[in-house]
Structure 1
């Protein structure tokens, strides 16, 4: 399949998810202990508590391991407080030839670019082909703004607040996969991972007010089952930042309504406490970069 970008329902003529080649799911995740994590890096004046963050991080790690997904560790680094959000500045996958690829992010904030350098070293040592944004003027927030369609060689990517739409041509080329582009329009949801979580090949959890009408139409065209998260709960508890592990969604314990929606379609749920990370706009999925 020729890799291309889709930004409207009209462009989907002749497109079918069924025709997208199958893609293996992740075999493990990469996590970084929050030894130097601080919500203060994003939210001055918040009551960040590193000890509490460590307890919550341990709980997320244990939940993922209990579900059978191995966890590999990235060493924390002084001066990189957000390295604990291991999934936000890298996007991993495999090409049709089963070549492991890591596409690094390029943040608008220079202070976060050191994360990409540390991730590059780890993924290179793990046998991944490293790809970096060629145009350093473009912002690409990698795993924070991109998501794989479960089981398919198809990417979803967001723009509007952080990542530039032009950056997704590189993602399409890197993974030889089409990309469906979604525009975010709600300032409460500035990353795709805060308002869009594919759960199964047929079902997705979204925050409808986060998207423009064209993007909502794209989502409805491709997913037969669209679950609508409550906007207030989604902003406060980040259920769309869940991580699905073999039919079970690991998500913030405070997102009771979203958990009910997820169970209604036959998936399990595993509640965990991530409130210290929510202060920095992150939850389970941000803490665990998927490995292939």
Structure 2
């Protein structure tokens, strides 16, 4: 049984400490919406590749301005969703668990990312046997992985991740098809340390009743998002423990985060959102 995290509501804002991160991203050179594999995708609507590239570049540069390292993988023709790097791997303590996609259109992406890790010196790379869409459905809290299921990642992939990565995995069920990946409905604001519990933000209505009770028990001080936050992909944010990168439309969530001592940093992801992606979707974190 996992114990409830102690309260940290009254922590001083000055204790929000940013930690330097390392990210892997993929330029959207071949970005398109040629098919629909989630409710946000509409192939009949035009896509501006130049604008998508400019938005992605600004997101990458924002991370670098915040002091983080960003590495890039070469995009491949015919794989328009390869820009959403978060779906292609989970890296904890230098051990890499790759991806296995549910949609046939994305299946080839997994091997390109696998090769990138091998070519960059990672030897502990394991590819999953079950459908596993990586950080799209896996959120590392510093102590455990919160793992989503219901639309993409198989529930059996949660046990596989625990065995391969050697960390506890807690299953959560998603029930709203608009929020088909965990990273559209929940993200970690600050990871747990020896002295502090993890702090998260999430949209309760995206989860089953049982999963909502689990989250409320484990994270009583979580920042709760509303429908407006969720609909603009506000929960697809990226936090370094202090600076929180959010879509420009997520103003309500930004205000609540600022009240908790975080520094909202806005990013325009409107073109990328046409494929159901936001800041986190574009960002795979490499944890050594």
Does TM-score exceed 0.5, indicating one fold? yes
**SS at 1:75's partner residue?**
coil
Structure 1 runs, 4 residues or longer, greater than 6 Å off:
none
**SS at 1:168's partner residue?**
helix
Query: 2:154 aligns to what?
Result: 164
CA distance in 1, matches of 2:21, 2:240: 10
Query: 1:69 aligns to what?
Result: 68
1:289 aligns to 2:284 (yes or no) = yes
Query: 2:218 aligns to what?
Result: 222
Work out which of the residue numbers 239, 257, 261 in structure 2 matches 1:262. Answer: 257
1:211 aligns to 2:207 (yes or no) = yes
Kept after mapping to 2: 8 A contact 1:26/1:290: no
Q: TM-score, normalised by structure 1?
A: 0.86
C-alpha change, 1:26 and 1:119, in structure 2 (3 Å) is farther
Query: 2:9 aligns to what?
Result: none
Query: 1:184 aligns to what?
Result: 174
Q: TM-score, normalised by structure 2?
A: 0.87
CA distance in 2, matches of 1:213, 1:187: 16
TM superposition shift of 1:26: 6.7
Give ranges in structure 1 of 5+ residues lacking alignment. Answer: 1-10, 19-24, 95-99
Give ranges in structure 2 of 5+ residues lacking alignment. Answer: 7-18, 193-197
Kept after mapping to 2: 8 A contact 1:141/1:163: yes
**SS at 1:147's partner residue?**
strand
Alpha-carbon displacement from aligned partner over 1:35-81 (angstroms, at most 9, x marks no partner): 00113443211221101101100110111100000111111111111
C-alpha change, 1:40 and 1:49, in structure 2 (3 Å) is farther
CA distance in 2, matches of 1:67, 1:27: 9
CA distance in 2, matches of 1:194, 1:180: 17
Alpha-carbon displacement from aligned partner over 1:252-291 (angstroms, at most 9, x marks no partner): 0111011111111101011010011111111111111111
CA distance in 1, matches of 2:214, 2:152: 20
C-alpha change, 1:28 and 1:148, in structure 2 (3 Å) is same
Query: 1:127 aligns to what?
Result: 121
TM superposition shift of 1:158: 0.6
1:238 aligns to 2:251 (yes or no) = no
**SS at 1:88's partner residue?**
helix
Matches within 5 A, 1:33-44: 33-42=27-36, 43=41, 44=43
CA distance in 1, matches of 2:45, 2:260: 37
CA distance in 1, matches of 2:273, 2:112: 23
Work out which of the residue numbers 136, 141, 151 in structure 1 matches 2:133. Answer: 141
**SS at 1:286's partner residue?**
coil
CA distance in 1, matches of 2:201, 2:237: 10
Query: 1:251 aligns to what?
Result: 246
C-alpha change, 1:114 and 1:26, in structure 2 (3 Å) is farther
CA distance in 1, matches of 2:152, 2:209: 19
Query: 1:106 aligns to what?
Result: 100
What value does the CA root-mean-square deviation take over the aligned residues?
Answer: 1.6
Kept after mapping to 1: 8 A contact 2:4/2:217: no
